Structure 1
């Protein structure tokens, strides 16, 4: 063997593999300069209108509540004087005011409970009726919801009239019941019960329509699984339907509290513009002190206290709305 044959052959390195192609990156969207200001520019007209319509009256309300302001100041005979917290001290030290506060809270609580219970019951029943009947009921609900408050109040005054009321005539047809001539507004509790019925009647359509929309989002698979596990109708409602509807129920309850605490036209019109002391709620009481007694400062103080009482309810509502937005 020759020397050339004994030499070791050179090793050839393996070819390098080409690197994998880079993954497709999503195109970067360039945000225009000043993009954060665009939403505020779009909201500016609405915010300006709200500031004019609500901001100025609220600021004026706060100013009046710290002044002595009556007929003399209204007509310019005397200047308005700053009295500090004297108006609030008089209001908070008045036993009649606290009676009105308790009456308003009881009235609002009763109206909210009845509204939510009746609204939930009707919404659940709408899930079990035929299509044409559901459409008919929704039309009736929207029509009653759109009825002006003054018209609805006038209708209820006629329904519960002591001499010509339809409700008394229907009750009198029951065996052993004689209600002809019965005056429902002779006592505060009975009269407020009628007004509460009017408030509930006007609020139920909104609750029914909103809950009906929420019920369409309840997963049918969960309901079927609960039934297979042996849950009855109440069990399915308690452990499946209610948890899904909880955000909507909290939102509706909060709105109902705000609306029912602010009831005014129903009481005012039902009592002919002069609510008796046993029919006074916070809004009518504030109006009475301002425009009947002509103490505008004290009426403003009562209205401001009412706003402060409702701020806690508004905070709950806003918190719930933010939670719903985060879930979405």
Structure 2
């Protein structure tokens, strides 16, 4: 009897499951689309933006890498297809291979130093009080927020041969101490930014200085999610700081380190603005990386934009291979 009156008041049969329809089902019914279609429809605006800002320029870059594009083509003359000639020329160039060596060496050193320093700072921040930790985080994030061009200007001034503060500080060291460390005592007029090796030393310092705050804050966020009981149990068992980090912190933060490593590899392979400012333009060919070599080929007179695009395609493929390999290793580790 109760069931009959309920049906009469409800104006229809209740759902088979006995539960009212969910909000997502009501939305799907109102839109007239199947439930599984809605997520894909919501992705369309984002995919259109990505296609317009990334996919289309990438396709044009690949097409241009197979063409001869110079001043005549900029003025409206149709581009001439040259097949793989641009790739053949760059692979036969000694500058390409020295640029590739500089790019890989710089990326390996910088990624390692950034992760080590960022992890150390993040671990130390986790031991500070909340107020002090916030204060330090705001301070170091100011370096990360500095635009790349401004980073280059700052460190170019610091290492300036005549007015740089680095040479001034080194000259303040006792002569015996400077001789012991560096084999010289007079640093007046030291041209740090003339030689490829010292240019990359300055570039490494510049990029690590600007990059480690992001790593530190990310590691700090990961550490906040690790239960304190695990560290208390490790202390009770007599585990030291390094063993605790290796057995507890590192395994639990492996997904964080994986993402940070991939991002650092991508960022450091593509470094351009800081190097351009430190060099004062594409002048020293021995100090080129792939980004600088691509820029020099495309825009330095006479412009060869087809060759520049080919170098950019090689750099993109290199990044895709490295990233895919690293992601595959991460997936294997997670499955195991």
Q: Which residue of 1 aligns with 2:324?
A: 315
Query: Is the counterpart of residue 55 in structure 1 residue 55 in structure 2?
Result: yes
The equivalences for 1:173-188 within 5 A come to 173-176=172-175, 177=178, 178-188=186-196
Residue range with higher mean Cα deviation, 247-256 or 131-140: 131-140
SS of the residue corresponding to residue 280 of structure 2 reads coil
**Cα distance in structure 1, aligned partners of 2:326 and 2:334:** 12
The CA RMSD measured in Å over matched residues stands at 2.4
Which is higher, the Rg of structure 1 or of structure 2? 1
Q: Which residue of 2 aligns with 1:90?
A: 89
1:320 to partner: Cα distance: 8.2
1:46 to partner: Cα distance: 1.9
SS of the residue corresponding to residue 46 of structure 1 reads helix
**Cα distance in structure 2, aligned partners of 1:199 and 1:179:** 24
**Cα distance in structure 1, aligned partners of 2:71 and 2:137:** 50
SS of the residue corresponding to residue 36 of structure 1 reads helix
> Conserved in 2, the CA contact under 8 Å of 1:268 and 1:275?
no
Residue range with higher mean Cα deviation, 86-95 or 261-270: 86-95
- After superposition, the C-alpha distances for 1:32-72 in whole angstroms (9 at most, x for unaligned) are 34222222222222221211111221111011111122222
**Cα distance in structure 2, aligned partners of 1:230 and 1:319:** 36
The equivalences for 1:69-108 within 5 A come to 69-77=69-77, 79-108=78-107
Cα distance change of structure 1 residues 49 and 324 upon mapping to structure 2, 3 Å threshold: farther
Q: Is there any run of 5+ residues in structure 1 with no aligned partner, and where?
A: 1-24
Cα distance change of structure 1 residues 227 and 42 upon mapping to structure 2, 3 Å threshold: same
**Cα distance in structure 1, aligned partners of 2:236 and 2:334:** 33
Bigger share in helix: 2
How many equivalent residue pairs? Answer: 302
**Cα distance in structure 2, aligned partners of 1:313 and 1:220:** 36
**Cα distance in structure 1, aligned partners of 2:42 and 2:143:** 35
1:167 to partner: Cα distance: 1.6
